[in-house]
Structure 1
Amino acid sequence: MDSSNIAILSTVINKELYKKSSQLFPSNIQKYVIDGTNGMHGLDSIIYMMKMLKDRNIDWLIMADEDVLFENPDIVFDIIKKMETQNYTVCGVRDGGLISHRKENPYVINTFFSILNFREIELIWDEKEMLKNQYCKINEFQDDVSNLNEIYDTLSIYEPYYCFYLWLRRNEKQFLFLDSNQPFQEDKITNAVYFEDKVLLYHTWYARSYGINKKHTVRINKILELLKFENKIISNAIVFKHKTFFIIKSIKKVFKRIFMRIQMK
Structure 2
Amino acid sequence: MPEKKNIAILTTVANFDLYKKTSVLFPKDISRFVIDGTNGMHSLHSIFYMFKKLKGKEIDWLIMADEDVIFADNSKVFELINYMALNKYSVCGVRDGGMISHRNQNPHSINTFFSILHFSEIEKVFNLKEIKTNHYISAKEFKDDLKHLNFGHAVDSLYEPYYGFYFWLRRKNFKFLFLKAEMPFQEDNITNSVFMPNGDLLLYHTWYARTYGSNKKHTARIDKVLEKTTQQQKNTVDPVIFKDRFFALKEYCKKTIRKIKIKLKN
State if a TM-score over 0.5 links the two structures: yes
Q: Could you list the runs of 4 or more consecutive aligned residues of structure 1 that deviate by over 3 angstroms after TM superposition? A: 229-235
Worse overlay, 77-86 or 45-54: 77-86
| Match 2:242 to one of 229, 240, 243 | 240
Distance 1:204 1:261 in 2: 42
1:116-173, CA deviations, whole angstroms, 9 ceiling, x for partnerless residues?
Answer: 0000010001100111000011110111001100000011010001000000000111
**TM-score (normalised: structure 1):** 0.97
1:94-115, CA deviations, whole angstroms, 9 ceiling, x for partnerless residues?
Answer: 0000111100000110000000
Partner of 1:216: 218
Does the residue aligned with 1:4 lie in a helix, a strand or coil? helix
1:5-33, CA deviations, whole angstroms, 9 ceiling, x for partnerless residues?
Answer: 00000000100100110000011011100
Is the Cα–Cα contact under 8 Å of residues 19 and 235 in structure 1 kept in the other structure?
Answer: no
Distance 1:92 1:259 in 2: 39
Q: How does 1:77-88 map to 2 (within 5 A)?
A: 77-88=78-89
| Match 1:202 to one of 174, 188, 204 | 204
Is the Cα–Cα contact under 8 Å of residues 62 and 114 in structure 1 kept in the other structure?
Answer: yes
Q: CA RMSD in A?
A: 1.2
Q: How does 1:1-265 map to 2 (within 5 A)?
A: 1=1, 2-195=3-196, 196-228=198-230, 233-263=235-265, 265=266
Deviation at 1:257, TM superposition (A): 1.4
Is the Cα–Cα contact under 8 Å of residues 25 and 232 in structure 2 kept in the other structure?
Answer: no
1:258 maps to amino acid: I
Q: Which consecutive residues of structure 1, in runs of 5 or more, have no partner in the other structure? A: none
Deviation at 1:247, TM superposition (A): 0.5
Is the Cα–Cα contact under 8 Å of residues 6 and 58 in structure 1 kept in the other structure?
Answer: yes
Does the residue aligned with 2:5 lie in a helix, a strand or coil? coil
Distance 1:239 1:210 in 2: 21
Distance 1:63 1:51 in 2: 15
Is the Cα–Cα contact under 8 Å of residues 20 and 231 in structure 1 kept in the other structure?
Answer: no
**CA separation of 1:14 and 1:230: change in aligned 2, threshold 3 A:** farther
Distance 1:231 1:246 in 2: 37
Deviation at 1:230, TM superposition (A): 8.1
Distance 1:245 1:229 in 2: 39
Distance 1:132 1:70 in 2: 34
Distance 1:262 1:138 in 2: 36
Identity %: 53
Is the Cα–Cα contact under 8 Å of residues 211 and 218 in structure 2 kept in the other structure?
Answer: yes
2:4 maps to amino acid: S
Distance 2:83 2:127 in 1: 27
Distance 2:139 2:124 in 1: 29
1:30-89, CA deviations, whole angstroms, 9 ceiling, x for partnerless residues?
Answer: 110000001000000000000000000000000000000000111111111111111111
**CA separation of 1:82 and 1:234: change in aligned 2, threshold 3 A:** closer
Q: Which consecutive residues of structure 2, in runs of 5 or more, have no partner in the other structure? A: none
Distance 2:148 2:106 in 1: 15
Does the residue aligned with 2:4 lie in a helix, a strand or coil? coil
